[in-house]
Amino acid sequence: MITLRQIEAFRAVMISGTVTQAASMLFVSQPAVSRILGDLEREVGFKLFTRANRQLIPTDEARALYDEVERAFIGLQQIDQSAASIRQYRGGLFRLITIPSLASTIMADLIARFVERYPDIMVSLEIRPSQRVFEWIVSQQCDMGLASTPTDSTSVVTRPIAIANAVCVLPEGHSLTRKKTIRPKDLAGLPFISYKSDAAFRHKVDEIFAQSAVVRDMKLEARTTEGICGLVSAGLGVSVVAPVVSTEPFPGGLAFRAFQPAIPQELTLIYSAAKSLSRLSVQFIDVVEEYMAEIRPAPVAKGGVGLIPYGAPGTEAGRRRPGSK
C-alpha cells in the first residue's frame, strides 16, 4: 500500500528536481529520500525518474501520477477552479517561470503581449529564485523560464536575449551620487546590503571586493533585488545589485550608478533540452524577439538601469548571435 511519506517524498522531488532539495524540504537525509522513492516505485510498478547530469527527470508515468498527487494536496476548492480554467481555456496551458526581479517588469510585459495575441491560451506563472528556475525547467514542471543566471548544463537550452551590467544602488541624496562610476574603494566601511549567502551573484560581488582588499560593513542581507532596494531606499545602506532589468524607471528614493569592475549579467530564455519546443513555446519566443527588437539601449541613469538587447548596434551584445548557448 502506498504511504503518505512516499507521496510526500515523490512530490518534493517533483517540485525541487533533485534528491538533495527534496531531503532539505522533508528534513531527512538524501539516502532516506532515495530509499522511499525506491519503495514507491516497487509499489506502483513503474519507473518514476531517470537520472541525467545529477538531475532527476520524471517519466511520463511520474507526471501523470504527480497530477493526481497535486489534486490531493491543493484541496477540493482549487480542484474546482482548475476544472473551470481547463473548460474555459481550451487552447492549451503554457507554464512560465521567472525570478522575482523580472516578474513585474519584462515578464509582465511579455505575458500581456502573448495573451493579447493568443487569448485562448491559459498562462501559469511561477516565481522562484534563480536556481529553482533551473530546477523547474530541468524537471519539466514549466515550459520556459526567464532568468539572469547563466548555466553550462546540457540539460537545458539557454537563449540569450539581452545583457546588462550590475550597478551600485544608493539612497537618493547620498554623497556618492556625485560620482558617475562607483568603485569598491568608494564603499569601504559603508553599511552594505548583500544578497543571501546562497545566491550566485553574491559570490561574484564578494570576490571583487576581496580582490580589491576592501572591507564593507556587512550587517544586512536580502533574498531579492527588490528587497535590497527597499532597504537602501530606507537609508539602511548601499549595495551592488544585479541589473534592475526594466524598461521603466525604478521607484523613487534610489540612485543608480555604474559600478566598476563590470559584472555583466545575461538575460536568457531557458527551456528543457530533453524535449522539442512546443507550439506555444515557439509562439512565446516570437513575442520575446519582437518585444526585444523594440527596446533601445539606455545608459545607467538616476532612477533607471539600461538594458541592452542582443542585436543592438554597436554593442558587444549586438555582435553575438541570439539563440546561441
Mean pLDDT of the chain: 81
Q: How far is CA 223 from the centre of its chain?
A: 12
pLDDT of residue 302: 41
Q: What is the DSSP string of 222-286?
A: ESSHHHHHHHHHTTS-BEEES----SSPPPSSEEEEEESS--EEEEEEEEESSSPPPHHHHHHHH
Separation CA 255–CA 126 (nearest Å): 30
Separation CA 53–CA 321 (nearest Å): 27
For 17-25, what is the mean pLDDT?
Answer: 87
Q: By C-alpha distance, which of 39, 59, 38 is closest to 48?
A: 59
Is it the case that residue 296 has pLDDT exceeding 70?
no
Is it the case that residue 314 has pLDDT exceeding 60?
no
| Least confident piece of the model among 148-152, 213-217, 220-224, 264-268 | 148-152
Beta strand 254-259 pairing with 167-171: antiparallel
Q: Which amino acid is at 155?
A: S
Q: Which three cell numbers stand for residue 301?
A: 541613469
Assigned fold of 86-155+266-295 = D-Maltodextrin-Binding Protein; domain 2 (3.40.190)
pTM of this prediction?
Answer: 0.60
Separation CA 261–CA 207 (nearest Å): 11
For 74-118, write each residue's pLDDT tens digit.
554 555 555 665 565 556 788 999 988 788 778 999 999 999 998
Assigned architecture for domain 4-74: Orthogonal Bundle (1.10)
Integer CA distances (angstroms), 139 to 47, 54, 107, 199, 323, in order: 15, 12, 21, 21, 22
Separation CA 324–CA 301 (nearest Å): 30
In this chain, the answer to whether the domains covering 86-155+266-295 and 164-265 adopt an identical fold is: yes
Q: Taking a C-beta distance cutoff of 8 angstroms, is the pair 303, 189 a contact?
A: no
Is it the case that residue 324 has pLDDT exceeding 70?
no
- Structural domain boundaries of the chain? 4-74, 86-155+266-295, 164-265
User: In terms of DSSP H, where are the helices of the chain?
Assistant: 4-16, 19-26, 30-44, 60-74, 76-88, 100-103, 106-117, 130-138, 200-211, 225-233, 279-293
Beta strand 93-98 pairing with 122-127: parallel
DSSP 184: G
pLDDT band at 316 (very low <50, low <70, confident <90, very high): very low
Report domain 164-265's class.
Answer: alpha beta
pLDDT of residue 315: 44
Backbone phi, psi, residue 23, to 5°: -60, -40
Separation CA 167–CA 209 (nearest Å): 14
